[in-house]
A = this chain, B = another copy of it.
Amino acid sequence: MVTLNDVARVANVSASTVSHVINKTRRVNPETERVVRAAIESTGYAGDGIARSLRKGRTDTLGLAMSAISNPYFGEVVHAIERSATAEDYSLLLAETHDDPERELRAVRDLLSHRVDGVIMAPSNDPGAALALIERRGIPVVLIDRVPVEDRPHTDAIGVSNREPVAQLVTHLVEHGHTRIAMLAPQPGVATTEERVEGFLTGLRRNGIDPQPGLLELGCHNSDALEGALSRVLGLDDPPTALVLGNNQVTIGAMADLHLRGLVPPAGIATVSFDDFPWADSFHPRITTMSQPTDDLGVGAVSLLLDRLADSSLAPRQRRLDPEFVVRESCGCVR
A59 B69 Cβ-Cβ under 8 A: no
Measured CA separation A278–B252 after assembly (Å): 8
B83 A79 Cβ-Cβ under 8 A: no
Q: Of the candidates B49, B96, B252, B278, which one forms a contact with A282 in the assembled complex, judged by CB atoms under 8 Å apart?
A: B252
Contacts of A177 in B (CB 8 A): none
Interface centre among A279, A282, A284 (most CB of B within 10 A): A282
> How many copies of this protein are present in the complex?
2
- Chain B residue with the shortest CB-CB distance to A257: B282
Residue contacts A-B, CB under 8 angstroms, 10 given = A1-B138, A46-B136, A46-B137, A47-B113, A49-B115, A59-B114, A86-B96, A91-B94, A91-B114, A283-B283
A94 B75 Cβ-Cβ under 8 A: no
A112 B281 Cβ-Cβ under 8 A: no
A48-B115, A49-B115, A50-B53 known, 17 other contacts, Cβ within 8 Å:
A50-B50, A50-B59, A50-B115, A51-B54, A61-B93, A68-B78, A69-B82, A69-B83, A79-B96, A91-B95, A93-B93, A94-B94, A252-B278, A252-B282, A256-B279, A277-B279, A283-B283
User: Size class of A's contact patch?
Assistant: 35 or more
A285 at the interface (CB under 8 A from B): yes
A255 at the interface (CB under 8 A from B): yes
List the interface of chain A (C-beta within 8 A of B).
Answer: 1, 44, 46-51, 53-54, 59, 61, 68-69, 72, 75, 78-79, 82-83, 86, 91-96, 109-110, 112-115, 133, 136-138, 252, 255-256, 258-259, 277-279, 281-285
Contacts of A75 in B (CB 8 A): 72, 75
A49 B252 Cβ-Cβ under 8 A: no
Measured CA separation A51–B115 after assembly (Å): 10
Contacts of A113 in B (CB 8 A): 46-49
- Chain B residue with the shortest CB-CB distance to A252: B279
Measured CA separation A41–B258 after assembly (Å): 52
Q: Of the candidates B48, B114, B282, which one forms a contact with A255 in the assembled complex, judged by CB atoms under 8 Å apart?
A: B282
B114 A49 Cβ-Cβ under 8 A: yes
Output the least CB separation between A154 and chain B (Å).
20
Measured CA separation A109–B48 after assembly (Å): 11
Q: Of the candidates B50, B93, B277, B282, which one forms a contact with A91 in the assembled complex, judged by CB atoms under 8 Å apart?
A: B93
A82 B96 Cβ-Cβ under 8 A: yes
Contacts of A115 in B (CB 8 A): 48-50
Measured CA separation A83–B68 after assembly (Å): 11
Contacts of A61 in B (CB 8 A): 93, 114
